[in-house]
Structure 1
Amino acid sequence: MEPVLMYYRLFELFRAIDNGVIRVPSFQRHFLWDAANILDLVKSVYNGFPIGVIIFFESGENIFDTADPSVTNFPAVENLETRHNYPINYVIDGLQRLSSLYNCFHWKALEQASKFNIIFDIEKEELLQYSSYSSPGKYIHLSSIFSSEMFIDSQIKLMSYNNSEKILNIASELHSRFQEYTIPVMKITGTDTKDVVTVFERLNSSGVSLTEAEILRARSELEKD
């Protein structure tokens, strides 16, 4: 196994998820983080703090069955094999972090309360979960940061307020912080899938080992082909 450390911006990771280049093997655990965990993670990114290394197993072929979106909170990518987007990067460690960030920056139901619906209070310059009952007067949805159209719409709205120049500068700084943030990614390459499972088990914070049935299930669908 040959580990290589690389750095990626958030939008690069998100694009790879959308294209099916980053996938989650079916032996991964369900998403477990609560609202406080997610908000703390996003605050760390905003402040430029490190959030740890994401670990991928890079393969030139489809070696694991992909976990259901209910496990990953990633979008379902249809006809993955027809896309020829190789190599594939299987998430071995960092699913909770990666899934949290992806969903926060892609949340579409802007008026719906959710642990993924995070906004930035312009006046207090702080991040918080959206609430229809107690939202601040001036705010930006985090999901607008990587959408040019949504961010422009947010800027237009902010221009209508008094002291708009200062407000727009704050919004621009917010945009830059997330656009420029990089995450270290350790890529492991090789051919022995048993080594991949061993790495996963040792990194799994729950300390629960995979059963033989779980390992076999991760490959079962592929072996039918």
Structure 2
Amino acid sequence: MKIATILDHIDSGHMALPEFQRGYVWNREQVRGLFESLYKRHPVGGLLVWVTESNSAQYRGDGSLSPGVVQLILDGQQRITSLYGVVRGKPPKFFDGNKQAFTGLFFNLETETFNFYQPMKMQQDPLWIDVSKLMKEGSQAMAEFAQELSQRPECATKLGEYLQRLSHLLSITDIDLHVEQVTGADKTLDVVVDIFNRVNSGGTKLSKGDLALAKICADWPEAR
């Protein structure tokens, strides 16, 4: 599934986080590394989602789910939240964490590297591009960047090359990520939490207390 489609699914309520998922914990170095990998078209891993009915799904955030079947993210939350934060320029509805981790990511057209905004270093340098601005405004932002670069003699000679790099960066959202689905009536909350703990073996496992809270929220929505 294309990254752009995944982000659209989050906006429309077709994709969300289950109630038992933990918050966002990535730091800026991890976000920067993710975008460097995507720009170089290196593998970044796929998603594992729980396909369930929206009318019984317990999810994070104050947004609403779309009617019918929805996909709750079991594995890949940190990557998708980072992508959403940079591409949309704001946190997703289910966000719980420090948004500074993905705010202010810039790309250097000459070195093809990413870094977070540093006023003294970047403010007067047109080769540093605001990634969120490019992603949100697309061709309009490219035209603005091209106009500014063309007015700099030291940049004008490489304008075509720079525009190719901007286009390559913008097309990150066209990258396909594999989405594996957990489906079936037998996939109860207990089963799904067990799956979550197994795929999340490198992180903090959900405790019995976490599972109990998730069950309470599933049976008693007012407890959320």
TM-score bucket of the superposed structures, by smaller chain? 0.7 to 0.9
Given that 1:53 and 1:186 are in contact with CA atoms closer than 8 Å, whether structure 2 keeps it comes out as: yes
More relative contact order in 1 or in 2 (CA 8 Å, sep 6+)?
1
Q: Equivalent residue for 1:57?
A: 50
The answer to whether the aligner puts 1:186 opposite 2:210 as a matched pair is no
Q: TM-score, normalised by structure 1?
A: 0.79
Cα separation, partners in 2 of 1:102 and 1:207, compared to 1, 3 Å: closer
Quote the residue 1:31 is aligned against. Answer: 24
Out of 103, 107, 110, which is 2:89 matched to? 107
Q: What pairs with 1:12-161 in structure 2 (closer than 5 Å)?
A: 12-68=5-61, 76-77=62-63, 80=64, 83-84=66-67, 86-107=68-89, 114-116=100-102, 117-135=104-122, 136-147=125-136, 149-161=137-149
Taking every aligned residue pair, what percent have the same amino acid on both sides? 23
Q: Could you say which residue in structure 2 is the equivalent of 1:3?
A: none
Structure 1 unmatched runs, 5+: 1-7, 69-75
Q: How many residues align?
A: 202
> What secondary structure sits across from 1:160 in the alignment?
helix
Trace 1:161-172 onto structure 2 (pairs within 5 A): 161=149, 162-163=156-157, 164-172=159-167
Which structure shows the higher strand fraction? Answer: 1
- Encode CA deviations 1:69-89: one digit per residue, 9 max, x unaligned: xxxxxxx42xx25x42x3111
| Offset at residue 215 of structure 1 (A) | 1.8
Q: Distance in 2 between matches of 1:61 and 1:106?
A: 24
SS of residue in 2 equivalent to 1:171: helix
Structure 1 residues 21 and 219, CA, compared in 2 at 3 Å: closer, same or farther?
Answer: farther
Q: Give the aligned CA root-mean-square deviation in angstroms.
A: 2.4
Aligned in 2, Cα 1:169/1:206: closer, same or farther, shift over 3 Å?
closer
